[in-house]
Chain A
Amino acid sequence: MTTKVRRAAAVLLLCLTATGCGSPDSPPPPAAAADTAVPITKPFKGLRPTSVRIPKIGAESSLIAVAVTVDGKISVPSVKTPMQAAWYRLSPVPGEIGPAIVLGHVDGDRKPGIFFKLKDLVAGDEVDIDRNDGKHLKFVVERTTQVPKDQFPQDAVYGNSDKPQLRLITCGGVFDHAEHSYQDNVVVYADLVP
């Protein structure tokens, strides 16, 4: 009897040691960065925003210009550089009439991203944008929303506007481990301060 108990204890100990007590269903680590990183020799040379700063949440980043992927999705900065924000080049330049789109990660590479606290913005908060023509623009948050990605408000975000506006977009909501993706987007709508 005691021998059986001892054997059981030994088997249990062995099992625990073998699994390392880790969570077997933990998501896989992100894939290694592509070694095929191509230097940017031909960046967008037109009028463009150069940096974004959101004092309330302590977010500050230069802005790279991104467009779309071959699959038609909006291109985003590498997850390896989650503190990098981006301007969607197929949207207006901030300060021009229309909705200028600025993107940032909520997290990445196991760290908080540049827009980790974007959801905390409320009406009246300030967003500053600098451009390569030397202009410093100040936007004021009009509202912050969180929407499921499959109900993304295309018209509200990308539709024409009659004044210079800003849309700050990041991920939010529940993290779906199976999809390796957040279920929602957080969108901040801001207006240019004349």
Chain B
Amino acid sequence: MKKPLGRLAGAALAGAVLTLALAPAASAQTGDPSSSPATTSDSPTAVPTETSSASETPSTSVTPTSGTPAPPAASAPQTHGEKQQVKTTEATTSTTPPEKPYQDNVGHGYVNLSGEGVLVIACASGAPSDVATANLSVVAGPDQDEADGRYWNYDVRVVGAVPGATASFSWTCDKVAGQGEIEFEQAPPEQTSTPEPTPSTPATTSTTTTPPGTSAATPSTTTGTTADTTADTTAATGPVQTGGTQPRAQVRYAPKGGVETGFGGTARF
């Protein structure tokens, strides 16, 4: 009776030791689903890239060094095939908050310096109605966000003067009134005093060759530039004040920060 028990215990101990020995290898293969890219030969950490350049300047300064990320000087040059290792937690804790759960009947608007923007309304029951705002003209929409049909977008344009940093708008979603805030992008302080170097600047028609940060031109009325063909259905009659203070932005709203396109980021499940 004692012997079989002893053998059993011995076998169990041997099994335990064996399991302990094998466990790291097993979890390295399949344990962590989020690290799936790393298992297939080329992990996303090893990036054979060149540089990131500041804006569109042709002088891309290649920095083939390996090391820590570059200081935030408008862009962050990266490295050649370098494996970034353990800069894990400290730099990122403030970057991407966890995804918020879906909330119905909420909305927000974003308008850029050139007076164009978008209203986003969460309404799972269908397209909102009675969208109203005092300072904006709805020029297109509603369009569903095709990644999540609960979100509805309206293209808008400022009519008249920009009211300030924010304004409100309202709608009805499933017979329930909703109200949201519109953010108007504000020009950086240093751009308010625009130097006018040439006293005899010819008032040329607006073109699309303006770099992103400059504010030399002041558009007064809407000009039918490239991408407006589909949006100007309702606003095409009469001169519409853009209300913006900047040349037309080709990207009508530039989201702040990076884009979440990885496993478990802010992407919706």
- Chain A positions within 8 Å of B, measured between CB atoms, are 2, 5-6, 9-10, 12-13, 16, 21-23, 26-27, 29-34, 36-47, 64-80, 86, 88-93, 96-99, 101, 103-113, 115-117, 119-120, 122-123, 143-162, 169-187
Contact = CB atoms under 8 A, between A and B. Distances in A.
Interface in B232-269: 247, 249-269
A110 B145 contact: no
A103 B261 contact: yes
B26 A183 contact: no
Interface of B: 5-6, 9-10, 12-13, 15-16, 19-20, 23, 26-27, 31-37, 40, 42, 44-45, 47-56, 60, 69, 72, 74-78, 84-85, 87-89, 91-96, 98, 100, 102-103, 106-108, 110, 118, 120, 122, 124, 127, 140, 142-153, 180, 183, 208-213, 226-227, 229-231, 247, 249-269
- Secondary structure at the B interface, as helix, strand, loop or mixed, is loop
Contacts of B258: 147-150, 152, 184-185
Nearest to B82: A146
A148 to B, nearest CB: 5
A74 B255 contact: yes
Contact of B260 (A73, A99, A123): A73
B251 A92 contact: yes
A19 to B, nearest CB: 10
Contact of B213 (A27, A104, A159): A159
A29 B119 CA distance: 33
B187 to A, nearest CB: 14
A106 B37 contact: yes
B209 to A, nearest CB: 4
A65 B143 contact: yes
Contacts of A89: 143, 153
B33 A27 contact: yes
A128 B259 CA distance: 22
Please list the 5 inter-chain residue pairs (A to B) with the smallest Cβ-Cβ separation, ordered nearest first: A149-B258, A159-B212, A98-B250, A46-B230, A171-B262
A112 B36 contact: yes
Contacts of A46: 140, 229-231
Contacts of A72: 108, 110, 183, 253, 255-256
A103 B265 CA distance: 14
20 contacts: A9-B12, A16-B16, A22-B27, A30-B269, A66-B146, A68-B120, A72-B183, A75-B148, A77-B147, A90-B253, A98-B208, A103-B261, A108-B263, A110-B34, A149-B257, A159-B251, A160-B210, A162-B208, A176-B88, A181-B264
Nearest to B100: A71
B82 to A, nearest CB: 10
A10 B102 contact: no
Contacts of A147: 52, 75-76, 78, 258
